[in-house]
Structure 1
Amino acid sequence: MGEELTLEECFSGLEEIIEKMQDTEVSLEDSFALYEQGMKMLKNCNQKIDAVEKKMLKMNEQGELEEF
């Protein structure tokens, strides 16, 4: 996960992790590793969403930022 992923790639990766964790053949140790990987990916998604929300502001006539 060294390269920068798009938001869509992050969501897709999270879905894959969830599917793997639901497999009854996955060991407890592997489940913890998948959980950790998923939490990192979720944090990355949240950061991307926060960045988009900040861009969704516009400046009004008084020079103040307001929601778009």
Structure 2
Amino acid sequence: MQEKQKELTFEEALARLEVVVKQLEDGQLPLEESLALYAEGIELVKVCNHKLDNAEEHIRVLLADDKGELMLKELQQAKGEG
């Protein structure tokens, strides 16, 4: 995964992915450019999936205590980080 894409927010990665998909769907690019865009799109999908996995893990950490109140437990470092 490219360093620049690791730094993207979910929203930025998704917006760029939408642009890539539109360019590929247009079908006006030479083969080499299409392949490069396709590869970029795959990396953007990985970024989005990683961000969504982390968000899902954070949501799962919210637990109800015995009074029915929500509390946030400390997360272990996410897989693949650090």
Range class of TM-score, shorter chain = 0.7 to 0.9
How far does residue 61 in structure 1 lie from its aligned partner after superposition?
3.9
1:15-30 equivalent positions in 2, closer than 5 A: 15-30=18-33
DSSP 3-state at the match of 2:43: helix
DSSP 3-state at the match of 2:51: helix
1:5-44 equivalent positions in 2, closer than 5 A: 5-44=8-47
Q: Are 2:56 and 1:53 aligned?
A: yes
Residue correspondences, number = 63
Gaps of 5+ in 2: 67-72, 74-82
CA RMSD of the aligned region, Å? 2.0
How far does residue 28 in structure 1 lie from its aligned partner after superposition?
1.1
State the alpha-carbon separation in 2 of the partners of residues 32 and 39 from structure 1: 11
Gaps of 5+ in 1: none
Name the % identity: 33
TM-score, normalised relative to structure 2 = 0.66
1:24-64 per-position Cα deviation (integer Å, ceiling 9, x unaligned): 320111111001000001000000000000000223448xx
Moved more, 31-40 or 20-29: 20-29
